[in-house]
Structure 1
Amino acid sequence: MTGHKLGAWQGTALLVGAVLGPGMLVLPHLAAVSAGPASVLAWVGLLALSVPVAATFAALGTRNPGGGGVSAFVRPVFGPRVSAMVGWWFYGAVPMGTLAGALIGGQYVAASLDVTGTGASGLAGVVAGALLAGALAANAAGLRVSGRLQLVMVLTLVGLLVVAVAAAAPSMTTAYFAPFAPYGLAGVADAAGVLLFAFVGWEVASHLSGEFADRRRGLIRATGATLAVIAVLYLGVAFVATGTGATRSPVPLTVLLEMGVGPVARPVTGVVTLLLTFGAVNTYIAGAARLGAALAAEGALPRRFADPAGGVRRSLGLLATLTVGVAVVALVSGLGVDPLMRATSACLAAVTTAGTAAAIPTLTGGRRAVAVTATISSGVATAFCGWYLLVPLALAAVAILGFRARPALAVRGR
């Protein structure tokens, strides 16, 4: 981004886009399945834990304008092996996360066409496959979703959520909040594990400081505004979806909109969701392809995945293979959106924890104290992932073994 500096509202829009994603279209339902109405406690708790995390990444970005993100912060503190682990956590999360996102789009398309039962599952799978194939093909052809188009998509999602909450709020009733905690505190913790999908992305703030017109305070202000926007949106959706019974549907946004605007909401929501999902999937695949090429160049992935011309097609091919593998496992085992999102959340939560831990020796004074709080908060949130933490643990083992197979690269710190 050159020649143009971000103002506070533009920076806020970018940060909102990093944290808010299509997962919000299904998370109220998945959280309610785990905890019932008490899932609202998980939303509130994770918002509170997000405050020091967001503040820490904003402080890192302000201290190191234009920094390279979590990997760049982790490497000088914990070394190249841990940096490779962080890269693998993100790279490994993308096939699972994009498949989950594509399935969400498929579910909304099926709902928009009034397809139910096994037919809905089949149609959702077909739509998900088409979305993933289209995104992979677009990236292979060098196509990208422009920053402006991505911003439009984010604003569209925000608008949909605001309209849905405002339209359905008059239909709320306390009857849907009883029994409040049918699965106890264990259910709330379980709900937090899947809701983490909606609370990762704050590390993007560390990339943006150098792009603000006001380098000292621009990112800090944008982070504060983003926290406020996210809090209003998340709590609004959580409480209204619970209070109207919309969480009982796997497509809660459609239910909320139908309460306010009638049957026309169904096809409109299906089309908009399809576009939003494709934009998000395409963007994550593009970022992961570049990350894979960088990991290969550094020796954290086999060298053959580093395109000699500086491109990303080899990494993209690996990403496509991994995505197909995850899809086959999901199809054979019957895995749905919920476990895919939980596994993705576990990986991304591990990335966040590594970043906040690296901030402790990097920052000073009060900011270091906030970083300590952020690391504790991230650790607590990561613990909610439960046995899904085996996924980042397995990826960490692969990363470490990869470096042991390339000792010369590891010694050179590459």
Structure 2
Amino acid sequence: MTARLPHSGSLGTARGTALYLGAVLGPGVLALPGLAAAAAGPAAIVAWVALLLLSIPVAATFAELGARRPDAGGVATFTRAAFGDRAAAVCGWWFFSVIPVGASSAALVGAAYIADAAGLSRNHGATVAIAAGLLATAFAANHIGLRLSGGAQLVLMGLLTALLAAACAAALPHFDPANLTPFAPKGIPGILSAAAVLFYAFSGWEAASHLSGEFKDPARQLRRVTALALAVVAAVYLSLAAATAGVLGSGTGATPLTDLLAFGFGPAAAPLTAVCAALLSLGAMNTFIAGASRLGAALARDGSMPALLAKGHEPGRTPHRSLMLLAALTGTAFTAATALGLGLDQQMRATSAVLAAVTVLACAAAVRLLTGRARRRALFATVCTAAIATALTWYLLLPLAIAGLALAYLRRRPAPVLEAPLPEPTGAASS
């Protein structure tokens, strides 16, 4: 058994769980229950349950890999250990490149609800300004440091969970079994369509893997943090799915959370939903930005990105240069999306396609690196995620294009900043 490597991370279990929740409980939860219900009717709850079950082996696989190889490189580190430098660079570029699009869409979702509550829904400029403010807040929190952003995340996720619980508690007394019939009006194709739409809500475990090196004791904490996050995600998603199907029924609109909160809070539902939107957006952006910035520094350390970005790759340090590049790319993506009028559906599907590619490659790496029961879980996660990803059709051309760019950069073969060996397994059990 290999001795544990010393770590200088600062994350404890509570802050770590909050950051993990921020990665999974994104702003998509505001609209996805309605979209899934439109695709499959009450049977959308079958898709919710199926994807929750898939989340268990996916999350467990990332926890196992992170516990064994805690490093800012996250999925790139796992992939390098299994398949070498080129695969690691591709996987790392996938994740780093998609965050600007994902952060932009998250900010716009939150901003739309905030603008609606403020009576500014018809003022496009106001929505854009609010979204820009949310992005600036998330990047500022990460520049100040992960300890502060982790503490802020803990508060955000606590408030968010309370509001979502209040929405379900207020609505469930109005549950009407008649709303569940017909249960599957569009049959199996409708359920599969709902699952494809809901895939966006279940990505995020790969983002948190880049924070594995920031934990005080990764081998001990990661399994606990993952289990806690899974429990909260399951409770929130299943409650929302049940309330949407049994309370709203065929009357489910584009903003089901506002409709559910209206049962308990009346006219106050809109501003409460705006609070939820802000919390969800900031929470998701906070974790994804934290993970991607550390990944960028780790990729630079290993020669897969420009060497000047490597500063701050060590646990406990803030990678300011990587953050600045990420901010510049996010600003560019945000400006382009608003100028070209790209819809949130397009941005979410593009994000999902790239994150699905990351998950498939990282889980495939786990199949090679792990043994026993952990390896079987990883194989199941790889196959199921790849199958669901096929529903994203031509959006899968995006990760192919990014892979081409990553391999083209690697042909330059820049020298690594330091000769750091791959993180050795810490002796975490793999079965």
- How does 1:294-373 map onto structure 2 within 5 Å? 294-303=298-307, 305=309, 312-373=319-380
Structure 2 residue aligned with 1:388: 395
Say which SS state the counterpart of residue 153 (structure 1) adopts.
helix
After superposition, give the CA deviation of every residue in 1:79-123 in whole Å (9 maximum; x if it has no partner): 11111111111111111111111111112112313455xx06554
What is the CA distance between 1:402 and its match in structure 2? 1.0
Q: Which residue of 2 aligns with 1:287?
A: 291
Q: Is the 8 A contact 1:205 1:219 kept in 2?
A: no
Q: Say how many residue pairs are matched.
A: 409
DSSP 3-state at the match of 1:262: helix
Q: Which amino acid aligns with 1:352?
A: T
TM-score, structure 1 normalization: 0.84
Cα separation, partners in 2 of 1:187 and 1:335, compared to 1, 3 Å: farther
Please say if residues 144 and 286 of structure 1, whose CA atoms lie closer than 8 Å, have aligned partners that are also in contact.
no
Q: Does 1:44 align with 2:45?
A: no
Which residue type is aligned with residue 384 of structure 1?
A: A
Q: 1:196 aligns with which of 192, 195, 199?
A: 199
Q: Which of 29, 32, 40 lines up with 1:27 in the alignment?
A: 32
- Residues 153, 286 of structure 2: 8 Å contact kept: no
- Structure 2 residue 261 is matched with structure 1 residue 257: yes
Match of 2:232 in 1: 229
Supply the distance in 1 between the matched residues of 2:236 and 2:103 (Cα, whole angstroms): 23
Aligned to 2:171: 168
Can you list the C-alpha shifts for 1:120-169, whole angstroms capped at 9, x where unaligned?
65543332123224444565677974322211111211111111111111
The gaps in structure 1 that reach 5 residues or longer are none
1:280-314 deviations in whole A, cap 9, x for unaligned?
Answer: 42443343233333333433234465569997454
Which deviates the most, 129-138 or 70-79? 129-138
What corresponds to 1:125 in structure 2? 128
| 3-state SS in 1 of match to 2:237 | helix
Checking the alignment, whether the CA contact within 8 Å between 1:111 and 1:120 is kept in structure 2 is no
Cα deviation digits, residues 363-385 of structure 1 (max 9, x gap)? 12222222222221222232232
Q: Deviations over 1:28-55 (max 9, x none)?
A: 1333344443332221111121122222
In the alignment, which residue of structure 1 is the partner of 2:425? none
1:154 aligns with 2:157: yes
RMSD over aligned CA atoms reads 3.6
Q: TM-score, normalised by structure 2?
A: 0.81
Counterpart residue type for residue 367 of structure 2: I
Deviates more, 1:16-25 or 1:383-392: 16-25
Q: 1:401 aligns with which of 392, 397, 408?
A: 408
The 10-residue stretch of structure 1 (122-131 or 95-104) with the greater mean CA deviation from structure 2? 122-131
* Separation (CA, whole Å) in 1 of partners of 2:12 and 2:107: 31
- Which residue of the partner structure matches residue 278 of structure 1? 282
In structure 2, relative to structure 1, the CA distance for the partners of 1:285 and 1:221 (3 Å cut) is: closer
Cα distance in 2, alignment partners of residues 353 and 143 from structure 1: 28
Aligned with 2:36: secondary structure? helix
